[in-house]
Every structure is written in structure tokens, then in C-alpha cells.
Structure 1
């Protein structure tokens, strides 16, 4: 049989190969662009075309979020690389005075002993966004919401600049010989999970993403679980909700434990 006859539909083997390849392609397209998008319980699509657009990363006007996600406010904060990029000594001083009211939970030097976030050295844009979200109701907490509701824009900026000015808890992992969790360094590409470190430090930082080194393990687990359940929803474009939903309980444990792995003596030395 010549090469010309080999790649023609007169060759039954060639016909079979093309048929199998076409069938696999069709099943893959249907599964990836229609079945899997409709399998998302938190999103409702008006038709198959919207599901295809969603899978392709294109905006769809008729796709709506399921009922649990429709209630409550969304974050309206817009962050750029220049947000609070310059702080004055006067602003830091005003923030230090305001921060005395925060010390009972976040510590007198921004290092908490109460499973509240460590704010010392946190990016100013992060604190700025979260305080605005607490004030607007986009994020709620029994303690923080009443505190933030009466803050002015200037006071929020001053607090953000003050805490960003404080020395950060040094990154330290007591067992450096152990490999970092895959979810932190590599993520899970097949499930659409970017590496934690690509936004939250270790690898890179994304504007508005908090520095996680040394944060409370209990706090980080609680926030990931809140994102996964939709209880917390002040992440723009649902980026953290989508990631947390796709993470396994073991991955949540690993990420929280890794970022929180700060020995007690380091905390005492800083606090």
C-alpha cells in the first residue's frame, strides 16, 4: 500500500482512526464547555451558549449566581499600584493614635495573640480595602463591622499607613527540610487553582492580596472555609471563592499550617 492510499478514507484503518479522534474531540468539547460549567452549583446559565462562553473565559450577561450568592453587598474598592503608595509621618502618627483602639485584638504592635490577623507590616492597600469593606457591609464581622462603620476615609488611610509602617513578623518555617505544600508552590492547574504563593507572597504578590506569612492558622482556615461556603464574599470577581471551593480540606489545612508556621519564641521576640 502506497503512502497516498494510506491516508485516504478508502483505508478502513484511517477511517477508524479519524472517527475515534473526532469522537474524543466531540466528547471533550461537550464535557469541558457544557457539562462541567452546568455542574457548578453556584452559577445558573440561561442556555448552553452562556455555559460555553463561561468555559471559554468570555463574559456572559445572562449567567446569574445562585441564591446564596445573591444576598449582601459586593466590594466596591478599586485598588491600583499607586493606592496609598506614599505615606507621610503625620499620617502614620494619626494612625498610631487610632490603632490604640485596635490593640485588644490585633496587639499593641500589630501582632495578635487572639487568632486575629497580624497587621504589622501588612500591605497598606490590603488593610485599606478590608476596612472599606467592613464599613460598607461587603464584609461582616461582629467586632469589626461596628468599629469600621464610623471610620472616615482619612482614618482608614491613616490606619492602613500605620500598620504597613510597622515591622513585619519575619517569615520562618521551623522545618525547612520539608517540601512546601504543592498547593502553595504549584497550585492545582487541573482544578483551576493558582499557587497561593503567586498572590500571597513566597513567589509574588498581587495588589490587594494579603501577606500570609505568620498569620494565625485558625484564622486562615476559617477564612478559606468562609470563602468556600460563600459566607465571605468581598473578593472581587469571586477569585478566592472559586479557589476555596476547589480546594480539598487537606489542602486548606496544609496551606494554613504552612503560612502559620511561626514558632512561639519568634512571636514573643517581636511582640
Structure 2
């Protein structure tokens, strides 16, 4: 038996040498295609040159390439606000409300004397203070653009923005006619669409849960809600952290946008 096995695994056995040679040739060809040929065909500078192509395909970092390939700068300003649950709480809240009420006198024309808008501008009364603070900072830095809001926040200090945010959050939220109705939330609000990477609206914007920095949506003017969703969908609004709202809105159909807007605006 041993003699027979030794004859099979032997260089004198043509079947053995042919199979080993074919396997080795296939391995070398696959390595050539995967580590040299295909990477070299890429336009990325990371793969230029034989050594770079092999290292890039193998996932080996080439830190020295960073000198010639700096990180790609974003085409538009992005939000740089970092929020924490404690940043707008603690001692001094009463003073902030008083200072914020004085600063808010400039805001009454659009957002109402008590933070409830009579136009197609957002209601601020009872809004989460981190959400207000983030948007004001984004208007200041240009991460969110508005021909009206940009000049309004010029010259305001960080403490001014905090005071305004705390003041509006302290105001009573507008009552929602129809809020006591037992009608269930529609699918896009309550369940989203997991297969299309659409999270439920209520998981960030209230009713189900609240994500830090995400605004409470009900009640808000219908025209405002629709314009902002469409702005996220087409990319003209881009101050959402990590692009989460743009990713959601661009996957929503027009019917889903209209339905979600109707759900949150109908409670006015």
C-alpha cells in the first residue's frame, strides 16, 4: 500500500506533476490578475506602480502617499457642531431664558412673538434646545444657507446662540389640533422602509424616540416641511451630520414625502 501511494505522489507520475503544475499556474495567474493587472488599470494614484498596485490590492497602507494625495475637501461647508446632552443644561438656565427673550425680539417678525409662526417659517416654541443651537451655528458657518437667517446671526456670540436656544425651548409648545385622535401613524413615519435604508421619521423626530440634535416636527408648517425634505433629497441642504437626512430623503418617493409632510402638518 505504501509503495502504491509513493508512486502516486511522485514527480515520475505525470498525473501528479500535471495537476500540481496546473494548480500552481492557476494560482500565479489569479495573483497576477488580482494584485497587478486589475489594480494597475485603476486611475487612483494609490495603485500606480508595481509595488503600489500589489500593496493596494492587498490592503497594506502606504502612508507616504498621503503627501501627494491629501484628503478630498468637501465641495460645500458641512456642519461641525458637536452636541452633548449636558451642553445646554445646568446652572444659569434662568438667566439664559431672560437674555434669550431679549435677543429673540429680532426674531418675532418671522417666528412669532411667542415662537409660533404665522407664516411658512418653523415654530420654535418648545423645540429642543440642541436642535435650535445646531441650526443657528450652521447658519453662522454657512453649513446651512439662508439669505434671511445668515445676516440675523452675524455678530452673535456662542453664548447668545445658547441663550436663544434655551429661551425658545422654555416656551410652551403649540397645541396640536387632532393630536388626541386615535389614528395610527402611517408606515413611513412609524416603520420607515428598511430595505431602502429609510429609518422611521418618528425614531429621530419624536413620537417614537428623539435623536440629539434632531428637531421635533409636529406641528410645523406644511410648506416648510416639504421644502426642507426636498432640499435634503436634492442636496441643496447639507448640514445633516453624516448625511443621514440626505440618505433618507433621496430614497423617498414623492408620495412618501407628501405623506410624511401631511402627517406632521395635519396636527396644526
- How does the TM-score come out when normalised to structure 2? 0.71
Question: Measured at CA, do residues 201 and 171 of structure 1 come closer, stay the same or move farther in structure 2, by a change above 3 Å?
Answer: farther
Match among 198, 206, 211 for residue 206 of structure 1: 211
Q: Name the counterpart of 2:13.
A: none
Deviation for aligned residue 1:205: 0.4
Q: Distance in 2 between matches of 1:81 and 1:73?
A: 25
How is 1:1-271 mapped onto 2 (pairs within 5 angstroms)? 70-86=74-90, 87-173=92-178, 176-263=181-268
Q: Secondary structure at the match of 2:208?
A: coil
Structure 2: gaps spanning 5 or more residues = 1-45, 48-65
Indicate the larger mover: 82-91 or 119-128.
Answer: 82-91
How big is the shift at 1:88?
A: 1.8
CA distance in 2, matches of 1:127, 1:159: 8
How much is the aligned-residue C-alpha RMSD, in angstroms?
2.6
Q: d(CA) in 2 for partners of 1:175 and 1:167? A: 18
The unaligned stretches of length 5 or more in structure 1 are 1-45, 48-60, 264-271
Distance apart, 1:174 and its partner CA = 6.3
Q: Do the aligned partners of 1:184 and 1:196 also contact (CA within 8 Å) in 2?
A: yes
Query: Residue 136 of structure 1 contacts residue 149 of structure 1 at CA under 8 Å; is this kept in 2?
Result: no
**Partner deviation per Cα, 1:88-110 (whole Å, 9 max, x = no partner):** 21110010001010000000000
**Runs of 4+ displaced beyond 4 Å:** none
Larger Rg: 2
Q: Deviations over 1:209-245 (max 9, x none)?
A: 0000111111010000000010000001000000000
Checking the alignment, whether the CA contact within 8 Å between 1:173 and 1:258 is kept in structure 2 is: no
* Superposition TM-score, scaled by structure 1 size: 0.70
2: distance between equivalents of 1:227 and 1:93? 34
